[in-house]
Amino acid sequence: MSMSKTIKGFLLKYLTQKNKIDFDISKSKKVLFLRYDRLGDMIITTPVFRELKLAYPNIEISVLASSANKDILNNNPYVDKVYTNHKNDFFKDYKTLKLLQKENFDVAVEFDHSVIPHAIFRLKIINAKKVISVHKDGRYNISGSELELYDYFTPNNLNRHFRDIWLETLHPFGINSEANNYDLFVNQEQEKLAKEFLSQYNSKKLIGINLEGAVKGKKIEEKELKEICEGIYKKNQNIVIVILHTPNKIDEVNATINHMDLDYVVPSYSTKSILHLAALVKELDVIITPDTSIVHIASAYDKPVISIHENNQSSYTFFAPTSRVNYTVFSKSQNGLIGYSVDEVISQTTTFL
């Protein structure tokens, strides 16, 4: 262990010292969740908000979200307030944290699985009476249990889906919920737009293909895409394949579709928000996607989903699809979608149809 890491560990232990407050968590009036990361993480966490609100309807639930994932909580009846974290802008971030400090939260819940300094600094400023977190792996020559800032940790059992691990943060409230489905609440305008777009393909089976995730390397390349589309169509001509995309990818997707020149492959409309995309996914029959947030959106609506995952069993365990009908095709690489079986994707899609 290097001297610098040892010093960091010592400083973190010192900074996280606090006087313990004798407070009954079940009497909480305000709870804050720190979830300022990716879209998929927020979707997987939605059961936690619901189960707490259902058990304690009078608790005010707030979430410190990221600019990337905050829209997942739009229309969510189980969340009262959403604050935006400004991770890369210290002055905006500090202003938000001081605002949260004034809320006098009874409990703050943090989901990092390691000792993360920026999360600790935020928690120190927010200064909730009690702090709950998941079990933390050691870092900087210290374990999470050595940091006095935290009052409760979940058990050290990471061989499960993150959805279930994160639900365990509710155990100090006396909640042991078996309801772990995700929540996404699209509005009437979003639903109407999706249905009107797809009405032109009324008699067809609708397959959505998402080409890439947020992480570099998680991408279905054009060669494999064309093979997948042609292979599915060869087995079932009563289909339309909708290529899902974000607004900034419309030109790239159109160019890909034009180059493939397959009249049963079309681009989705430009979805203005993640919930507009969710409304479209909700109306499709089968989803094909790399391991990314679309997997969890499909799972939220219990849609048949075929995910393409890097050869990493640990990551798969944490983020696996949860739809009742799902299948995962693994690549040969641990870093990216290289060498996965296109035939396997085609075969499973045909089976699901």
Q: Which string of b and e fits 87-119 if b means at least 16 CB within 10 Å? A: eeeeeebeebbeebeebebbbbbbbbbebbeeb
| Chunked mean pLDDT (size 10), the chain, 353 residues | 67 78 92 96 98 97 96 98 88 92 98 90 95 88 85 87 96 93 97 97 96 85 97 98 91 95 96 95 98 97 97 93 97 89 97 95
DSSP letter assigned to residue 142: B
Q: Which amino acid is at 78?
A: Y
Contacts 24+ apart (CB under 8 A), 78-83: 78/46, 78/49, 78/50, 78/52, 78/53, 78/54, 78/183, 79/49, 79/53
Q: Which pLDDT does position 148 carry in this prediction?
A: 87
Delimit the domains of the chain by residue range. 3-173, 188-352
Strand runs (DSSP E) across the chain, as ranges? 30-35, 60-65, 81-84, 107-110, 130-133, 152-153, 205-210, 239-244, 265-267, 286-290, 305-309, 326-330
For 44, 61, 300, 310, 334, the CA distances from 314, given in Å and listed in that order, are 16, 31, 22, 10, 11
- The two structure tokens encoding residue 239: 């289909």
Q: Decide if 3-173 and 188-352 have a common fold.
A: yes
Q: Which residues pair with 327 in a beta bridge?
A: 306
Give the domain 188-352 fold. Answer: Rossmann fold (3.40.50)
User: Among residues 167, 24, 179, 160, which one has the least CA distance to residue 109?
Assistant: 167
DSSP letter assigned to residue 268: P
Q: Which pLDDT does position 158 carry in this prediction?
A: 76
Q: Which pLDDT does position 2 carry in this prediction?
A: 65
- Which pTM was predicted? 0.94
Domain 3-173 class?
alpha beta
| Cα–Cα distance, 219 to 207 (Å, whole number) | 17
| Cα–Cα distance, 173 to 29 (Å, whole number) | 12
Q: Which pLDDT does position 3 carry in this prediction?
A: 64
Q: Specify whether the CB–CB gap between 337 and 217 falls below 8 A.
A: yes
Q: Which pLDDT does position 60 carry in this prediction?
A: 98
Q: Which pLDDT does position 1 carry in this prediction?
A: 47
Q: Strands 130-133, 107-110: parallel, antiparallel or unpaired by DSSP?
A: parallel
